[in-house]
Structures are given as structure tokens and as C-alpha cells.
Amino acid sequence: MDFSTPEPVQAIARRVREFIDAEVVPLEPFYGEHIDGIRPDRLEAVRARAKAAGLWGPQLPKDLGGLGLSLQEIVPVFEEAGRSLIGPAALHCSAPDEGNMHLLHMFANPEQVERYLRPLAAGQIRSGFAMTEPPPGAGSDPNMLLTRAVRDGDDWIIDGHKWFTSGADGAAFLIIMARTNPDVPTHKGATIFLAPIETPGIEIVRRVPIMGGDDLGGHCEIRFNNLRLPHSAILGEEGQGFALTQKRLGPARLTHCMRWTGLAQRALEIATQYANEREAFGSKLSGHQSIQWMLADSATELHAGRLMIHQCAWLLAQGSDARQESSMCKVFVAESVNRVLDRAIQICGAKGISRDLPLSRWYEAIRAFRIYDGASEVHRMVIARQVVKKYGST
């Protein structure tokens, strides 16, 4: 196994870290002043600086204005971008647009590329991904998908109810999962549609309030009421919805892991610095074994998580679906970065729960990672099924 990172990629990662420290971290005191977290004019200004610095869209192909890095190469780059909640948006590698661009790049036809992907890649527009539904619809179990699309001549009529549609408020278009054939299992009878947000029949009911504050476009509840779309609105082919979604979600789970690892790493650095400065009971906090063990556990879990991310990225690059490995990675990293944040707050004590440090805000934001892109319990179920299949009859 070769764990080395090519020097050109290391250089990009260093430049990203320098940019985050110099241009993005100073914006953090303003985070929360706007419903999208950061005020649009501030975000546009820092995005312009990211483009000028040659750091725009590390994951995007060069013909779309990005750096053309592979999934393996973006691992250290996304981690550095994730050192701030604002960092991924500043570099245009934040969810849901990052995953949506990946999906469109793989499956959009030439017309869809020009209409949706190119302006999205340029940062001129934003997108939303509408899959999750309120009970009794699809949540952790996608087979419960209730949103329906019915053929009407050359058009499709979509009716349904979605929520937690990330990025929808202010998006130019939505990526919609709907069931087009109720006579076959859902994973064979669902289709993805592309819909301009202004299309009649799309009703944004509300931005669902969440802990930790909203990201760009919030997480919206949406109703589709007699939404009429042409057959050309289908992404890929009819009935391919779940196959396409798996192509999106596998890498997307990993990119979430990369970004949150960066934030957890910075939390460890903040806690370590505090422990080296604060004195109690006759010595620096860093001299107390209880604190040392928390620091050691956090460093160990971050290291293990990085290795899992690298290995899973390698498997995907080899053409494997890496379903079990990606589930293992998602569970481990989602839970370990939560523990790292929790320990960092504990080490910093009262200051840790204050807004004088960014830890408490990060703690609120990072908690959702154990739920979205597959809750930990669902991924454990996937892992266990493979274990039983492999060893259950021995």
C-alpha cells in the first residue's frame, strides 16, 4: 500500500490551509448574521478571492473551471477546506452542490450540462436535492418513497411531499427523486428529474429550523402539486433513479467525512492550545493524565478515520462500489468527530461552551452528521448484513 500524497496535491492542500486561515477564519465572527450563515456579499467576495488564488472547485474538472483533482487527491484538500464551516462554500466544494455537480457530471446530457451544470460549477447558481420525505414517506428507508411521477403524453406530472431538501431556498433548480413505476420494487421504479425552481407546482413550504443554524439555502420542506415536467427533464434514464443516487451518495459520504475531519482536527488544536495555557491544580492542564488521554484518544480516532477515508477513496477509484467500506467509514468518522468535539469542549471547560470559542457552534452543527447521508444505525445494518452473509454459515 502506498500512503503517500503526491507533492502537487500536498502543495494545493497547503495553499488551501493558508487561504482558510487568512481569508475564511476572519469571517467566522460574522457567521450567523444571515439566514444562510454568512451574508451573501461576504461569501461572494471570498469566493472571488478563492478563484483569484486558483483554489476554486478542487473536485471539478478543469473544463468546468476546477482543479481537476481525483477523489483520492481531494482527501487532504477537502480536509483543509473543512477547517471552517465557511471554508467549503468559499471554495465551492460544499454540500449539496458538490454532490449534485458530481451527479450531473456523470449523467447529464449535453443540454442539461449547459443549462444546469456549467452555471452551477461557475457558482452562478445553486441547487437542491429533493429525496427525503416526511413520515410515512422515505427517510432512512428509500423503499418508502411516496412522491409519484405519472406519464402524461410527452410530460410527467409529479405530486409529493419532501423535506430536508438541502439548499432549496434560493436554488435555481431541484434534483427530484420520484417513483415512476409502482409495479416494481422502488429501487427499480424510481427516476430522477431536474426542475427549475420557478416551475409551477413547486411550493417551498418552509425552511425547517435545525440545531446549529442553516447552511446555504437551508433544509426545506417542499410540496409538488401537479408539477408538470417534460420527458427531457429526466436525468439519466427512466427507472435509474436509485442507481444514479448510489453513484452520488458513495463519494458524497466520503467528502462529508473529509470536511468534518478538518473541523475536528482544528477543534483538537484549539483544545490542545488551551490545555497548554491553562493552569489548574499545580500544573498546566496538558500535564494532567485525564486531559492527556482525551487528547490521545482524539488524535488516534482522527488518524484512524483518515486511513479509512483514504482506503475507501482508493476502492472507489478502482471501480468498486465499496458499499461496506463506505458504510464503515461513515459510521466511524461521523461518531468519532462528534467525540473529538465533545472532548475539546470538555477540556476548554466553561470557555468551551461559550461563543468566545467556535467549538459550541461546531458541536451543534456536527451532530447532524450521524443522521444525514444514512444514519449510523442504517449503516450498521448494511455492515451487519455483509458480515452475516460472509460468516453466518461457517
Q: How far apart (Å, rounded) are the C-alpha atoms in residues 147 and 190?
A: 9
Residue 394: predicted pLDDT: 61
Q: Which domains does the chain have, with CATH numbers?
A: 7-94 (1.10.540.10), 127-239 (2.40.110.10), 243-391 (1.20.140.10)
38-55: pLDDT as tens digits: 999 999 999 999 999 999
Q: How far apart (Å, rounded) are the C-alpha atoms in residues 137 and 177?
A: 12
Q: Is the pLDDT of residue 141 over 90?
A: no
Mean pLDDT of 250-275: 96
154-171: pLDDT as tens digits: 999 999 999 999 999 999
Q: How far apart (Å, rounded) are the C-alpha atoms in residues 18 and 66?
A: 19
Residue 142: predicted pLDDT: 84
Helices (H), 230-358: 241-277, 289-317, 323-353
Q: Assign 247 a pLDDT band (cuts: 50, 70, 90).
A: confident
Residue 244: C-alpha distances to residues 56, 188, 257, 307, 381 (Å): 26, 11, 21, 27, 22
Residue 248: predicted pLDDT: 86
Mean pLDDT of 288-297: 98
Cell numbers that stand for 190 in this block? 424510481
Question: Residues of the chain with pLDDT > 70: what percent?
Answer: 100
- 69 close to 59: Cβ distance less than 8 angstroms: yes
Q: Is the pLDDT of residue 140 over 90?
A: no
Q: How far apart (Å, rounded) are the C-alpha atoms in residues 47 and 51?
A: 6
Q: Is the pLDDT of residue 325 over 90?
A: yes
335-344: pLDDT as tens digits: 999 999 999 9
Q: How far apart (Å, rounded) are the C-alpha atoms in residues 31 and 29?
A: 6
